[in-house]
Amino acid sequence: MGLSRRLGSFTGRVVVLGFGSIGQAVLPLLFDSFGIAPSQVRIVTAGENGAEIARALGVALRVQALTQQNHEAVLAPLLGPGDLLLNVSVDVSSLALVRFCAPRGVLYLDACCEPWAGRYMNPDLPPTQRSNYALREELLAFRREHPRAPTACITQGANPGLVSCFVKVALLQMAADLRLAIEPPSTPEAWAALARRLDVKVIHIAERDTQVAAPRKQPGEFINTWSVDGFVDEGLQPSELGWGTHERHWPADALRHGYGCEAAIMLNRPGIATRVRTWTPLQGPFHAFLVTHGEAISIPDHFTLREEGAVVYRPTVHYAYHPCDDTVASLHELAGRNWRLQPRRRIIRDDIVSGMDELGVLLMGNARGVYWYGSRLAIEQARALAPYNNATTLQVVAGIVGAITWALRHPDRGVVEADEMDHVLMLDAARPWLGEVVGMWGDWTPLADRSRLFPEPKDADDPWQFINFRVA
């Protein structure tokens, strides 16, 4: 089963931290893509979940929850110079792990910037300190202090991660379709200038998951196609978005952070209680959740253009996610429980009977229309390509494979985001696992076919104002 494609050779030890849906999904790809033997790998995970898969793959698994007090003692005997720590856990601080790896010469990669357990849900912390913005700024501060540390690829899955590469490809394809004579950008400023020239005002990471499992969701159960704990954690963080220079309406519950890059704002509400209008080519228009994600901060930061120190261009950027229908039903039930998680949780994979994950970036504002570029991966394709995967997890681990490929060639870059990496190399490594990768124009706007039954605020001069995206 699957597609074997050697992308590099890694002879060091690998510690996979966490062995939920993503940990189980990525392990076979590490063997095929980098020639890693099962004897090189150790799994450290908080529970017995996935133990049978670890045994089937011949990989040692240690059940040990990492804490602020014990993480160094647990990891120190397992990792040394030239080794790799792949963090696909929840409730373990990414910053603490990067601090652990740097002086020991250990490469690091994660798919999400995590804090220690309790920070996301601490009502005594101000919302700004429960944000992804704050977590990112803490890691960037470490980078400034350790610029040549071993490479630590942060937030490197599908999104955040690959979607930053999708944005660059989309810009180049838009320019080609519009017959613009351009030089391929090689700096953040040049990429921002190209986006400005193309009049890109808004970028959605627009995702629609249509996977369906049997049996369907039951009362008191939370279903998801990837980590339940990870999704609920990020969904109950404040809703965050990059804030564009074209915006003229200030959301009533919006907050600025007052430090750092200032590329993003937050809403004083959870992301899974905030809906937006978006569009993908197969689904068409739909309502999605504005859940905080790292790319909603890093992309607008890297696509900021300044003149004489003043910001003159930046797009509005955010995640617009419609998970599978049973997850939406789970969220509705979760909200009714006053955000207390259901007693039963189920990650659907082998029980999925149909569906796909349509994940891409939607660039809006150009006079020709909107442009979507991304991956359309069906469950049947995912199963044919790699074991222990559904369509969602395989898109994530494709991003991880792309990031590892880049890190092995650049082992001393310190903390790095996908926006700073070679998008051609990353996508070349990831593409075999992404199903159909397409770019398409569309004529959708957030004002298209709006009902006239109830009045809504509109801005006749510009349909791309954020006020037109929000759903009360």
Q: Note whether 19 and 48 are within 8 A (CB).
A: no
Global pTM value = 0.96
Provide CATH code, domain 162-392+423-471: 3.30.360.30
Q: Note whether 18 and 91 are within 8 A (CB).
A: no
What's the pLDDT at 98? 98
- Please write the tens of the pLDDT for every residue from 79-97: 999 999 999 999 999 999 9
What's the pLDDT at 90? 95
**Helices vs strands, H then E, count in the chain:** 13, 24
Q: Note whether 369 and 80 are within 8 A (CB).
A: no
- Rounded to whole angstroms, what are the CA distances from 235 to 204, 274, 320, 372? 17, 10, 12, 24
Domain boundaries, the chain: 14-153, 162-392+423-471
What's the pLDDT at 3? 54
User: What is the residue type of 258?
Assistant: G
What's the pLDDT at 92? 98
User: Which residues fall within 8 angstroms of residue 53, CB to CB, at 6 or more apart?
Assistant: 19, 24, 27, 388
User: What is the residue type of 141?
Assistant: A
Q: Could you tell me which of 395, 411, 387 has the C-alpha nearest to residue 4?
A: 387
What's the pLDDT at 463? 82
Strand, helix or coil for residue 66: coil
Question: H or E stretch including 300?
Answer: helix 295-302
End-to-end C-alpha distance for the chain, whole angstroms: 47
Strand, helix or coil for residue 176: helix
Question: H or E stretch including 109?
Answer: strand 107-110
Instruction: Tell me which residues of the chain have a pLDDT lower than 50.
Output: 1, 472
Instruction: Determine the Cα–Cα distance for residues 177 and 231; give it in Å rounded to an integer.
Output: 37
Q: Which CATH superfamily is domain 14-153 in?
A: NAD(P)-binding Rossmann-like Domain (3.40.50.720)
Tally Cβ neighbours within 10 Å of residue 33. 26
What's the pLDDT at 330? 98
Instruction: Determine the Cα–Cα distance for residues 365 and 71; give it in Å rounded to an integer.
Output: 47
User: Which residues fall within 8 angstroms of residue 373, CB to CB, at 6 or more apart?
Assistant: 166, 167, 169, 170, 173, 360, 361, 363, 437, 438, 439, 440
Angle at 452 between CA 468 and CA 253, to 5 degrees: 30
CA 120 to chain centre: 17
Q: Could you tell me which of 249, 251, 224 has the C-alpha nearest to residue 238?
A: 251
User: What is the residue type of 315?
Assistant: P
